[in-house]
Amino acid sequence: MNNFVKVSRHDGVAVITIDNPPVNALSPGLPEAIGAAIDEMNADPAVKAAVVIGAGRTFVAGADIKEFGKMTSGATPRRSLLPFLLRIEDSRKPVVMAIHGAAFGGGLELAMAGHYRVASPTAQVGQPEVKLGIIPGAAGTQRLPRLVGVAKAVEMCAEGKPVSAPDAAALGLIDRVIDGDLLTGAVAFAREIADMPAPKARERMGKLGTLVENAAILAAAHDAARKKQRGMKAPLAAIEAVEAAITMPFEEGCQAEQKLFTECLFSDQSKALIHIFFGERELAKIPDVPKETPVIPVNRVAVVGSGTMGGGIAMVFANAGIPVLLKDVDEAALDLGMEKIRKNYASSVQRGRFKQAFVDERLRLITPALSYDAFSDVDIVVEAVFEGMALKKSVFADLDRACKPGAILASNTSTLNIEIAGATSRPEAVIGTHFFSPANVMRLLEIVRGKKSSKEVIATCMQLSKRLGKIGVLVGNCRGFVGNRMFGPYRREAQFLVEEGADVEAVDKALVEFGNAMGPLATGDLAGLDVGWRIRKEYRHLEKPGIRQPFAEDRLCELGRYGQKTMKGWYRYDENRRANVDPEVTALVRKWSAEAEIPQRQISAEEIVDRCIYALVNEGARILEERFALRAVDIDIIYLNGYGFPAYRGGPMWHADTVGLPKVYQRICEFHHQHRELWAPAPLLKRLAESGKTFAEFDREQSAAGLLERVNSA
């Protein structure tokens, strides 16, 4: 028996404890060890039943995802868990699976191969494989519908959402929820069932039904997958595999599952999503901020500014159960801000996202304020006032006076330099916390390191982002930080393409078909074209003479076309905010382009995508080189969670790796030749392309060689 498994005896019950920290993943050797323990148990006359339980914080988090790369590169052979699970299911003596923490993927498949399942009330079970671009690959799509029915199995396998233990018990997936000590309860349960038959999930046909009976369920699942997981292959494969459970005997169903699983595993989509899985776990690893850095306790917070962003940020804190003061300059502004918050919560209740009781509780946590009087005991303040340096500096000076020593002063600025800190006597406590609109929905949080931001303040904000249900990414302090700095060139190219003859809707359609949640021009209309226009006007003095600048959006703003907020921008909007192509815009842009003597031409969807996406990649490479981002994967995660970039492409930097940097570089050189300086290739991109390397390799080499330095806080 290797170290993965320990066996103990409890009065006729063998307890098999899986111990493979941190999450008991089914690494090579572990399934074999469990199988051997089951055989030993069956051979021991003194033992009547077995309990399988996980050591540490969880049952089993699934197959070892770290092994997938080795399998798809051919470094190690593909290992199937099916025979090992059949060995458990065919055990002569009953096997009880005792679940705490998570039984995910192969972990739930292991549990379903057991004859009974018990769980602690906080346990979760699920088949999240689609989030990795794969499907269950160890008979999960065959045993699950037999245990919970086709509808639930399709939902769990195609959407990948976890199910709580009490809900799983209601579905018949869990036989008993154990309050109190799980092991004690599981051993007692094992004794109860020791002399009863050991039901095999694969033989339970009662909940399957026929193809005809399930036709509507399967059709609805397909539609939902195409809509909610647009472009992703794995959800459709998962539905197809569950369908095989209805139409085929167990063994054939497993073979059909294996075929679909293998196709998914070797797909670019899966490689991209696994890249993101591990990337998300790298985010918190900051070279000069070790994980044992002390954090500042955050029990009370304040937000300054109750506008759209301020109100959303206050909701984020309240949703995490943290009392929040919300300050604004006068009663009218505050009433408006609180009204918007109440409206937001009301629509969340209407859409079933929150229960009314939850909302009432959250609203009680938000206290409107007209002064800084109560700011003396808050642990962090987030400033979300109008985007003007002078105003922000005066607010920070006020906060410096009103807040206790050690309180963190954070700014939600999306473009301004964190030198705002200079307005305080405590620059080490100043940091950027850039939320994305709507703040109570978008998961991304750019945490902007100022020149003097202390390690404690950084560590606190990184940890706080998790507590707020956000994905916190540490970025350097340059104009637009990472996300918006890259978004500039991306939207610049979208405007240029329209000025050169492309139709507005063609530009957006090309990027939506590429997989983006929304096209660049429609996104501008959503955010408000005037936001960028005001910033461009503020920075006009920084524009290099002789460098082409897009003009279309500025001209639209001069005509009061700010987008959705004025019911017209690039598109015209109806009362339901639906976008309609506006021939007036096409005519206006053609006229302006003629005045600017810009030759008009037919532009392919391929060129549209290349110019917009490679503009992202080129600027991303500059940001990496200038160290305003720690890793290329950090940039990818920013774009997936803040800008609607398709997750199954892994983010702009990973996408470029997948296309191949030599090809991307060559295309950028073509654009450089056509469009001159704006498309000068980033030196890092040139170097990697010429050395046949990838951004992912750059990340690995940087961290392996300890070259991962602190982000540039300028």
Under 8 Å between Cβ of 192 and 184: no
Contacts of 466 (CB under 8 A, 6+ apart): 472
Phi, psi of 163, deg, nearest 5: -120, 135
Residue the block writes with tokens 């993943």: 25
Nearer to ligand T1G by Cβ, of 162 and 172: the residue is 162
Say if CB 51 and CB 88 are below 8 A apart.
Answer: no
Closest CA to 484 of 556, 413, 386: 413
In the complex with ligand T1G, the residue whose CB is nearer, 110 or 682, is: 110
Closest approach of ligand T1G to the CB of residue 146, in Å: 16
Taking the complex as a whole, the smallest distance from the CB of residue 444 to ligand T1G amounts, in Å, to: 18
In angstroms, the CA 97 to CA 106 distance is 13
Contact call for residues 241 and 157 (beta carbons, < 8 A): yes
Task: Compute the 3-state secondary structure of the chain and give helix, strand, coil in percent, each to the nearest 5.
Answer: 55, 10, 35
Set 40, 67, 109, 626: catalytic member: 109
User: Is 69 or 209 the residue whose CB approaches ligand T1G more closely?
Assistant: 69
Between 133 and 337, name the residue whose CB sits nearer to ligand T1G. 133
Of 128 and 483, nearer to ligand T1G (C-beta) is 128
Which distant-in-sequence residues (6+ apart) come within 8 Å of 213 by Cβ?
Answer: none
d(CA 366, CA 302): 9
Least distance between ligand T1G and beta carbon 455 (Å): 20
Complete DSSP assignment for 465-514: HHHTT-EEEEE--STTTTHHHHHHHHHHHHHHHHHTT--HHHHHHHHHHH
CA dist 255 and 139 (Å) reads 9
Rounded Cα distance between 614 and 196, Å, is 64
> In angstroms, rounded to a whole number, what is the distance separating the alpha carbons of residues 286 and 474?
8
CA 482, CA 241: separation in Å to the nearest integer? 40
Q: Whose CB is nearest to ligand T1G? A: 105
What is the chain's Cα-based Rg?
Answer: 28
Please report, as ranges, the residues that interact with ligand T1G according to CB under 6 A. Answer: 22-23, 25, 58, 61-66, 81, 102, 104-106, 109, 128-129, 132, 134, 136-138, 140, 278, 281
Please give the helix or strand (H or E) that residue 446 lies within, else none.
strand 444-448
Of 140 and 149, the one with the shorter C-beta distance to ligand T1G is 140
**Among residues 108, 136, 146, which one has the least CA distance to residue 249?**
146
Determine the Cα–Cα distance for residues 25 and 21; give it in Å rounded to an integer: 8
Tell me, what amino acid is at 224? A
Q: Between residues 233 and 667, which has the closer beta carbon with respect to ligand T1G? A: 233
Rounded to the nearest whole angstrom, what is the least distance from the CB of residue 109 to ligand T1G in the complex?
A: 6
Across the beta sheet with 124-126, what order do the strands follow? 102-104, 124-126, 163-164
Least Å from the CB of residue 104 to ligand T1G: 4
* Calpha distance 473→416 (Å, rounded): 18
How far is C-alpha 445 from the geometric centre of its chain's CA atoms? 11
Nearest distance from residue 652's CB to ligand T1G, in Å?
23
- Closer to ligand T1G at the Cβ: 281 or 544? 281
Nearer to ligand T1G among residue 21 and residue 249 (C-beta): 21
Give least dist CB 622 to ligand T1G, A: 28
In the bound state with ligand T1G, the residue whose beta carbon lies nearer, of 284 and 363, is: 284
Q: Do 308 and 437 contact (CB within 8 A), yes or no?
A: yes
129 is an active site residue: yes
Q: In sequence order, what are the beta bridge partners of 472?
A: 445
Nearest-approach distance from CB 190 to ligand T1G, in angstroms: 25
Closer of 58 and 440 to ligand T1G (Cβ): 58
**DSSP string across 300-348:** -EEEE--SHHHHHHHHHHHHTT--EEEE-SSHHHHHHHHHHHHHHHHHH
Residues sharing a CB contact under 8 Å with residue 576, sequence separation 6 or more, in sequence order? none
Cβ 64 to ligand T1G shortest distance, Å: 5
Token pair recorded at residue 120: 């602690």
Q: Indicate the residue among 128 and 310 with the shorter CB distance to ligand T1G.
A: 128
The answer to whether 250 and 202 have CB atoms below 8 angstroms apart is: yes
Catalytic residue, candidates 129, 383, 493, 553: 129
Residue 333, Cβ neighbours under 10 Å: how many?
A: 17
If we measure between CA atoms, which residue out of 484, 472, 480, 486 comes closest to residue 416? Answer: 480
- State in angstroms the smallest separation of the CB of 140 from ligand T1G: 5
Say whether 99 sits in a helix, a strand or coil: strand
- In the complex, the smallest distance separating the C-beta of residue 699 from ligand T1G, rounded to whole angstroms, is 14
Strand boundaries in 19-126, DSSP class E: 49-54, 95-99, 102-104, 116-119, 124-126
Minimum gap (Å) between residue 174 Cβ and ligand T1G: 18
Q: Which amino acid is at 517?
A: A
Burial of 13 (0-12, 13-18, 19+ CB in 10 A): buried
Q: What positions carry a catalytic annotation?
A: 109, 129
